Amino acid sequence: MVVDTYQKNNYNKYVQLIPSRECILLFLKKYKDLINQKKIEKKFSIKKLSAKKALRKRLRAMERDKQIIYTYNRYYIAPENLNTVEGKVIGHRDGYGFLRSEKLKEDLWLSTEQMKLCIHGDFVLAHIVQSKKKGRSSAKILKILRPNNVLIVGRYYIEKKIKFVIPDDGRFNFKIFIFSSIFTKRIPIGSVVVVKLKKNFLNKKSKNEGVIVEVLGGKKMRTNLAIDIAIRTHSIPYLWSKEIKDQLYKIDNKIHLKEFKNRIDLRHLPFFTIDEEDACDFDDAVFCKKKNNEEGWNLWVAIADVSHYIKPNTPLDQEALKRGNSIYFPSLVVPMLPEKISTDLCSLNPHVERLCLICEMSLSNQGELVKYKHYEAIICSRGRFSYNEIFKIWNGDTILSLKYKKLLKDINNLLFLQKIFNKYKISKKGIYFENIESKFVLDSNLKIKNIYQHVRNDAHKFIESCMILANIASAQFIKKYQYPVLFRNHDRPTKESIINFRSILKGLGLYLFGGEIPESIHYAELLKSIKHRSDYDMIQTILLRSMKQAVYSTENRGHFGLSLSSYVHFTSPIRRYPDLLVHRVIKYTLFKKNAKQTYLKENNVYEYNLYNVSKMSKIGLHCSMTERRADEATRDVIDWLKCDFMEKKIGMIYTGVVSNVTSFGLFVRLNKYFIDGLIRIENLYGDNYYFDSIGVKIIGKSTKNTFCLGDVLKVKVVSVNLNYRKIELFLCN
């Protein structure tokens, strides 16, 4: 190649004019943030094109020599100033977003410009920009590590022959332009569709393109459509593959005779199941009796032996792990395991022989766990009861007592044991919540017909106590042999959440004892002291919000809520994958402890090879995620149902209690329906109001009129937004 002498001399002239590497590096170190070439040019007064090209070459050379770092979105930074973090992008419907990382106490701010480089759900590497004031620190995207390949649900529209979809989830704050579809038929405008993005990031010049892969329904929303949307929005697996169907076909419906030889026969004991009226699976049964010639009780908890049918690394096992848990929507269940397993072979239906893993416990007269043992067994349930039926029998219902005359003695034995549980408690220092839930009565169109308060009775509490005891015994058994397993950890609240909770209590004239680090017993004593207050439910809800979420982990950190040093989930392997792992570990330990090597080989017990800590940890993270995913998906559907119900109540006036106070307004829980609506702060009449974050209340600047938690207000329903699942209220005079 011939080099023009003039060009070469001209280039050398501009190289001499641009700043040295040392000057550029010094400037970048002082700037401390990401900076593009234009700002560097401005700083050093570089205006001519040739000089800009020379600067670009010098910057590239500095990047090559690792003096500076160049990010994919054309920014530079000194290595010393690069403060990186990995996290998940959380979008907001107003265009901005947040970056959530497990390593940080609070989320980082993502500007509208930064959100153009990513979408909600992306896992990214970002640079932390510390706030110069006392506000929230922000983040600048450096790289997308794992793009969110989720399918997006939205409404289909056409304007001026341009086809596009507006996402149903407001966190995807952009239109998706449709240039192709797998459907040949014309899609009606306004239809709910599922789109697969062709590009999963934005920049200022590009538009999002996508392909419609599924049409879910028309303009009119229904409950099943709301569920379909939630399933797709949260990427919930819901179809069974051919491999799974093939494996199911090979599973025998009958129990082989050899199973009777290898298990303890408990068919003579009158086990029975106790669940909700609308329960779909019955994987636990109980039986108890007073000890002969000594004080105390024997309690048997029988759990369906799911691990007998679901072998490790089979298609069924891999799908169960993928799902993590069953999800219970108001009118539909997305099960972790197919119906042949969950509602047939591993459902302890009455008068049918079933394989179980037993936790047999010896209890003191105070209900304390004295001894326990686990073993495989065969049982035959004598009956399927609801909580309400057992509770009515305990309270002398003559019709039900006559109907179940043969089982009356065993049912009353449960009552005697429940009285002990009520008096002494399983965990003496644990926090016991009086859970009150909203229950929906749905009509033939699966719309809410009525809402009532579902209060847990003594039958609920009894079964809960039995299951907690079996979980405690299983945790003790596993700790003894120290195999990797998933503990159910509930960490203590953070100092910040304790301070905030105490601040709220102070406004209500209450106090939480226990100093800077209160124990479970202090929370329990607080709840006991306010049991008869009218705002008990609201305070209990706030207490729950101040707690950390329970998670699955190989590291045993104990259960703060129950005040236990270790805890596992043993009682629901039909609907929770960690429980299935606990069963496998227990069975493996039993086989290894009791059986001969020849027996182990003949019965393929080595199929129960245990996961190592690393693999088990990954499963724990995944199952914690699927649990949160299930909560979010069911909340979406329930919120839609509530909004659909309240849409018919626009203009109606109700009495409610302030359940939450925020910077943007008051959430009021309607007493009649237990549904929350929002009074926006700007809609509070008679004054200009501001939010007092310390006292957690809203105060009028002139009148000093205040609104705080627990206030009883009269409100009017003024609007309902089904898309955003929001109910808006106005304060009545």
**Is pLDDT at 187 greater than 70 in this prediction?**
yes
pLDDT at 609: 55
Which of 1.10.20, 1.10.8, 3.40.50, 1.10.10 is the CATH number of 5-79?
Answer: 1.10.10
Q: Kindly report the average pLDDT of the chain as a whole number.
A: 88
pLDDT at 15: 56
Q: In whole angstroms, what is the distance from residue 622 CA to residue 629 CA?
A: 10
Alpha helices in 482-612 (DSSP H): 495-507, 520-529, 536-546, 577-594, 597-602
Q: Where are the domains of the chain?
A: 5-79, 83-146, 152-220, 242-489+564-635, 495-547, 649-731
Which of 3.40.1160.10, 2.40.50.140, 2.60.40.10, 2.40.50.220 is the CATH number of 83-146?
Answer: 2.40.50.140
Give per-residue pLDDT as tens, 316-349: 999 999 999 999 998 899 999 999 999 999 999 9
Please state the three-class secondary structure of 35-54 as a single string. ECHHHHHHHCCCCCHHHHHH
Give pTM, 2 decimals: 0.86
Q: Are 124 and 96 in contact (CB under 8 A)?
A: no
Could you tell me the sign of the dihedral formed by the alpha carbons of 571, 573, 575, 581, in that order?
Answer: positive
Domain 83-146 matches domain 649-731 at the CATH topology level: yes
pLDDT at 421: 93
Give per-residue pLDDT as tens, 15-34: 557 888 888 888 888 887 78
Q: How many CB atoms lie within 10 A of CB 23?
A: 12
To which residue do tokens 């939205």 refer?
154
**Is pLDDT at 373 greater than 80 in this prediction?**
yes
Q: What is the CATH architecture assignment of 649-731?
A: Beta Barrel (2.40)
Residue 400, Ramachandran bin (φ over 0: left; ψ between -120 and 50: alpha; else beta): alpha
pLDDT at 184: 60
CATH class of the domain at 152-220: mainly beta
301-315 mean pLDDT: 95
Q: Percent of the chain, pLDDT > 90?
A: 56
Q: Where residue 733 falls among pLDDT bands split at 50, 70, 90?
A: confident
